[in-house]
Structure 1
Amino acid sequence: MPASSNVSAAGAEGAEQCIINDQMGPFIVLYILIFIAGLPGSLMSLWAFTCSPTDKQQSSRIYLVNLLAADLLLLFALPFKILSDLGGPWSLRVFHCQASAVTIYISLYASIAFLAFIITDRYMQDCQSLRSLRLHEVGFARLLSVVVWLLLLLIMVPNMALPTKQVQVQQYLKCASLKQDIGLHWHALAVFLCTALFLNASAAVLISSSLALKRLLRSRSDPKLWSDARRAAASVTAVAAAYVLSFVPYHVVRTPYTLAQTKVINDCSTVKQLFLAKEATLLLSVLHVCFDPLLFFCLCSPFRRTVRKMTSCCRRQVDGDEEQQEDTGQPTTSALQEAAV
C-alpha cells in the first residue's frame, strides 16, 4: 500500500474505531423488498407513459414524468447500496460512497420537488381563479423541471468530483472517512441547501393543502361546488399526507447526523444512534417509489386509460387461449381447477 494510504489511515485511526454501520442486516432486507416491489411498477409506468397519447399534454403530466425519472434513477442506484451494505468488494463500496449514494440523494430531492409541484398544480387545476396563471402552462412546467434537475446537479455533483482520501481497506467503511476537509465542508453545505429546498417545497405543500381545505369548507352550501371541492381536497390531502410521512422524519434526523459527519458531534454512541435513525428514515423516504405508480394512475387520465387498455388486452388474450383450447379439445384452466376441486 502507498505511504500516503498509511498516513491517512493512521491519521483517521481514532475516528475509525467508532463503528456505526455494523447493524445493517434489517435495512438490507427491507431495501431488497422495496427494490423488488418498486421495479415492476416503475417499468410498467414507463411503458404506460410511453404509449399514452401526448397531444393534450398538461403540466401535471410533465411533473409526473419527471417524478418517474427520479424513481428510475433511485432504482438504478439502490442495488449498489444493497451490495455495499452487504460488504461487497472494496472498490464497489468506494464507488457507492462517491457516486451511487449521491445519486440516491439526487433522486430523493427531485422527488420532493416534483411531488410539491404536483400537489400545487393539482390545487390550481381545480381552482377556477388560478387557471389563467402561467404557472399552469406546459412550457413553464418544462422550464421549472429543467431548473430543478440543473440545481440538484450543481449542488450534488461536486460531492462526486471533489478529491478523496486513500484509506486502508477495512471491514466497515464510513463514507465520510473518504472525504477531505473541503469535501466534508461541501457535503455539509449541500445538505443545508437541500434542506432549504425541502422547506420551500413543504411550504408549497402546506399552502396548497390549506387552501384546498379552506375552499372545501366555503363550498358547503352549494352541492355542486362541494362535490368538486371535496374531490380536489381529497387528492391534494392524500398526496400531501404521503409527502409528510415519507420526507419529514428524514429531515428531522438529517441535520444532526450531518453535524456528526463533520465531527461537531463526537460521542460514538450518539453518532451511532443518529446513523441508525438516518438509515431508518431514509428507508421510509425511499419507500415512496413503491406507491408512485398508484399516484400516476390516479392523477393522469391518459396513463389510466393505457393501463386499463393493457389489462383488457391481457384479459382478452386469456379468454382467447381458453376458447382455442376448447376448440382443440384440450382442457381449459377453469376446467382443470374444477377437476382439482
Structure 2
Amino acid sequence: MIGLPTPQSTGLDNSTEAYTFSLQKPSNNCELQDGILSVVLPVSYSVICIFGLLSNSVALWVFTLTYKSTKTSIIVYMRNLAIADFLLVLCLPLRIYYQNHPGPFLLCQIVGAFFYINMYASILFLGLISLDRFLKITKPVQLYQIHKVSCSVMATWAVWLFLILGMLPFFFEKRKPGSCDGKCFHFKSKTAVSGTLNLLVVGMFFLLLLLFFSFYSKIAMKLKSMSIGKTQQSRKTAVIMKTFVVLAIFILCFLPYHIVRIPYVLSQLDIIQEHSYKQTLHIANELVLCLSALNSCLDPVIYFFLSIKFRKTVLCAFEGKLKKVYTLNQRGTSFVRSVTEI
C-alpha cells in the first residue's frame, strides 16, 4: 500500500503478521467508509443495550425466583435463551466504543466471537422452543424424550458446546491483509475456507427457517381444526396470535441478516469486486446485524405471551405487589390454554 510500511518477515506465522499489520494500519485509509453507521450504530446499540439489560435482568430474576421449582422443558429453553440474550448485550458497550476507534486485534476477535455465539444460541433456543410447542400442540397425548427435563438440559448443553467448538476455527483462520484491518468491527477480506464456513452457517439457518415454517403451518392447521364455542372465538384468535409471536420475532430479527450475508460474504471473497457494491453491502450488513441484536430486547415479549406465570409475576412486580409473586398458584391448563401458556 502506498505510504504505509510493509510488514517485515519475522519468522512468525501469518496470523501474527496480520495482527502486527492491523495494529500499524491507520483506520482512516480503509477503502470502505462507515458513513451513517458511525452515528446510527452507536445510538442503536446503546438503546438495545439499555433495554436488553433491563428486560433480560427482569427475565432472569423471574426465572430464578418463580420457576425455581418448576421443571418443564420449555422453562429450560427459556432460561438459556435469556442467558444468551443477557450475554449478548454485554458485548454491545465494546461494539459501541470501537465503532469509531481502532481496537486490539485479539480483543476484537473475542468480542466478535462472543457476540455471534450468543446470537446463534438465541436462534437455536428459539428453534427448540418452537419444536417443543409444535409437539405439545399437534401431538398432546404423546410424550417425547425431548420433553423430559433431563433431555432438555442435555440439549441446551449440546447447543452451547456446539457453538463454542464451532467458533474456534475462526480464531485460527488466516486473513488476507486489507486496508480496513485497523478497524475492529468492519469489512474484512476472507479466505476461501473461511468464506465457505460462513456460507455453510447461512445455509444451516435457512434449513432451520424451513423447519420453523413447517412447525407453524402444522400448528396453524391444528388450531384451525379445534372445536371451540362461539363465545370463545375471540380467545382462539388471541391464542393464534400468541403462538405465532415466536415466528414473527424470529423472521424480523434474523432473516434480513442472513439474506444480506450471502452477497456480503461473496464480496469478502472478492467474487463481488465492484467497490460501490462492497460499500452498499458493508452498510447493509451492519444495519441488519444491529437488527439481529434487537432480538435480545424482544425475546422477553415471548416469555410474557407464552407464560401466564411469567406475566403475572412481572405485572405484580410493576404494581408493587411482590408478596403476590410468592403466592401465585399454578393452575391446571386445558389444551387451548397449554398452547400459549406454561
TM-score by length of 2: 0.77
Corresponding residue for residue 296 of structure 1: 303
Match of 1:263 among 243, 261, 270: 270
What per-residue deviation string (whole Å, max 9, x for no partner) do you get for residues 151-182 of structure 1? 111221221344668889986467565x7x7x
State the identity as a percent: 27
One-letter identity of the residue aligned with 1:280: L
- Which stretch of the first structure deviates more once superposed, 193-202 or 162-171? 162-171
Which of residues 92, 104, 108 is equivalent to 2:119? 108
Question: Which residue of 131, 144, 157 corresponds with 2:168?
Answer: 157
Match runs of 1:237-316 below 5 Å: 237-313=244-320
Displacement of 1:302 in angstroms is: 4.0
- Counterpart-to-counterpart distance in 1, 2:136 and 2:121: 22
Q: Which amino acid aligns with 2:74?
A: S
SS at match of 1:90: coil
Distance across 1 between alignment mates of 2:43 and 2:175: 30
Change (3 A) 1:151 1:130: farther
Q: Letter of the aligned partner of 1:217 in structure 2?
A: K
Q: Secondary structure at the match of 1:46?
A: helix
> Could you list the runs of 5+ residues in structure 1 that have no partner in the other structure?
317-341
Q: 1:176 to 1:249 in 2, by over 3 A?
A: closer
Alignment partner, residue 82 of structure 1: 96
User: How many angstroms apart in 2 are the aligned matches of 1:170 and 1:203?
Assistant: 36
After superposition, the C-alpha distances for 1:281-333 in whole angstroms (9 at most, x for unaligned) are 111111111122222222234433433443344689xxxxxxxxxxxxxxxxx
Q: Secondary structure at the match of 2:34?
A: coil
Deviates more, 1:128-137 or 1:166-175: 166-175
2:278 is paired with a residue whose SS is: helix
The answer for the alignment partner of 1:64 in structure 2 is: 78
2:151 corresponds to: 140
Q: Where does the alignment leave 5 or more consecutive residues of structure 2 unmatched?
A: 10-16, 324-342
Decide whether the 8 Å contact of 2:31 with 2:179 is kept in 1.
no
CA 1:164–1:255 in 2, change beyond 3 Å: closer, same or farther? Answer: closer
Give the letter for the 2:137 counterpart: D
SS class of match (2:244): helix
In terms of Rg, which structure is larger? 1
Give the residue type in structure 1 aligned to 2:156.
S
Conservation of the 8 A alpha-carbon contact between 1:124 and 1:130: no
Alignment equivalent of 1:40, drawn from 32, 43, 54: 54
* Residue-by-residue CA offset, 1:109-163 (whole Å, 9 max, x unaligned): 1111111221221233333445422232222221221221111112212213446
Aligned residue pair count: 305
Partner of 2:326: none
Letter in 2 for 1:279: E
Whole-Å separation in 2 of the counterparts to 1:41 and 1:269: 39
Which residues in structure 2 correspond to 1:113-128 (within 5 Å)?
113-128=124-139
Distance in 2, matches of 1:219 and 1:43, equals: 37
Structure with the larger helix share: 1
Contact kept, 8 Å, 2:99 with 2:184, in 1: the verdict is: no
- CA distances 1:188-212 after superposition (whole Å, capped 9, x unpaired): 2332232233123212211121011
Distance in 1 (CA, whole Å) between partners of 2:175 and 2:193 is 12
DSSP-derived class of the 1:274 partner: helix
